[in-house]
Amino acid sequence: MNLENWQSTQYLHWSFQHMADFLPTAVISRGRGPVAVLQPRPLGSALESIGVPPLHDGAPATIREVIDATNTDGWAVMHGENLIAEEYAGGMTAGSSHILMSVSKTLVGTVAGALSDEGVLDTDALVTAYVPALAGSGYAGATVRNLLDMRSGIAFSENYLDPFAEVRLLEEAISWAPRMDPGLPTTLYGFLQTLRQKTFHGGVFEYRSCETDVLGWVCEAAAGEPMPELMSRLLWSRMGAEEDATIGTDPVGTGMFDGGINAGLRDMLRFGSIFLNDGVSLTNERILSPGWIAETLNGAVDSRDAFLCSPGDNRMPGGMYRNQIWFPYPGNDVLLCLGIHGQMIYINRPARVVAAKLSSWPLPQDAAKLFSTLRAFDAISATLAADTARLRQRAH
């Protein structure tokens, strides 16, 4: 396994679980606190046989068929604190660590929220107030809030299939891909300083991984602490994680904030529960304030308009993006943390459901696989909510 082939289709299932074998990583420690216990209450075939509405004109499927058709490495569902489904494929186990890709963005956004709650980070402040080195870049004049909601005016292509898109050049700069352009900077921070502005800051939403990388830099500067230690202190050691997480780094040890975090499936559920429980972990530790949770759920007055006018093909009518989290529907009942090649944390607040899926899709983006998975988790949530309602009726 090497830089040339680790993202090749035939190797994804293996490489996504062994990033530390061929790339430098740093540990995000779980500390010595208690592990949040997930109560096993498997529903087995009853869960897998739930019907999933078709995306378009296709035939309805079942949960089992969706899981089998979407290159699943592992998936799990938690209802309240009960672990009702957990399954791994192709040699992956509960102890395996898997790259989260852009689910990492929500973890970094959570660190930013915790720093904001502490008064260490002002989301209305200019980026350059924390990172003066960006004064000569396109980020001059952008605010931390612009980063959190991906509404800066930076020119940055997220076209994963274009080897010359900035998202791929970034990988070259941090030595995650073979260097084709010798003129590129050799560190993440060096690359971010080369980005330029194409339109005004605070405009429409446009999904750009560089926003999270700058956000991570801002968090480190505000706290005076590297992200692995910062994330451990504010999040990973406080949420009852079962295992350490890791983050891939560039040649000088800077974390790849936008997509380099690796973790286990159960810890993804534990993380998701923070947003189910209004900022409190399963170990009763407050991670985020009620105020941060509320502003995440409500968005800004123009968040949905900014999302609607996005130049990207988001396919989420009425949705929004806030604090590094996707809201796929009108309203704020369902939250998504998403990563390319099929990584997802699904949070359904009314149904009290957190679901997670780790995958190795052949293509970075696949709308059919993404939205069939979303519908599958919606169907599970609807079934569980209906069952809960029936039990309450009987109790009365």
- For the segment 284-307, what is each residue's pLDDT rounded down to a tens digit? 999 999 999 999 999 999 999 999
Note the CATH architecture for domain 9-119+226-395.
Answer: 3-Layer(aba) Sandwich (3.40)
- Is pLDDT of 332 > 80? yes
Strand partners, 261: 247
* Conformation bin of residue 314: beta by default, left when phi > 0, alpha when psi is -120 to 50: alpha
Between CA 29 and CA 273 the distance in angstroms is: 19
SS3 call for 391: helix
Cβ neighbours of 44 (radius 10 Å)? 9
In 190-244 the beta strands, taken as DSSP E runs, fall at none
The catalytic residue positions are 102
Query: With contact defined as beta carbons under 8 Å apart, do 285 and 312 qualify?
Result: no
Between CA 113 and CA 289 the distance in angstroms is: 8
Give the DSSP letter of residue 233. Answer: I
* Model pLDDT, residue 259: 98
- For the segment 195-208, what is each residue's pLDDT rounded down to a tens digit? 999 999 999 999 99
Between CA 396 and CA 394 the distance in angstroms is: 5
Contacts 24+ apart (CB under 8 A), 9-17: 9/362, 12/341, 12/360, 12/361, 12/362, 13/71, 13/73, 13/90, 13/360, 16/73, 16/98, 16/99, 16/341, 16/358, 16/360, 17/73, 17/92, 17/96, 17/97, 17/98, 17/99
Residue 65 φ/ψ, nearest 5 degrees: -70, -35
- Burial group, residue 322, by CB count within 10 angstroms (0-12, 13-18, 19+): buried
* Model pLDDT, residue 389: 83
- Run of H or E including 392: helix 367-395
CA 231 to chain centre: 14
Domain limits, the chain: 9-119+226-395
Query: By 3-state DSSP, what share of the chain in percent is helix, strand and coil, each rounded to 5?
Result: 35, 15, 45
- For the segment 210-242, what is each residue's pLDDT rounded down to a tens digit? 999 999 999 999 999 999 999 999 999 999 999
- For the segment 109-147, what is each residue's pLDDT rounded down to a tens digit? 999 999 999 999 999 999 999 999 999 999 999 999 999
* Model pLDDT, residue 104: 98
- H helices then E strands: how many in the chain? 14, 14
Among residues 293, 284, 286, which one has the least CA distance to residue 347? 293
Confidence of residue 386 (pLDDT cuts 50, 70, 90): very high
Between CA 55 and CA 138 the distance in angstroms is: 40
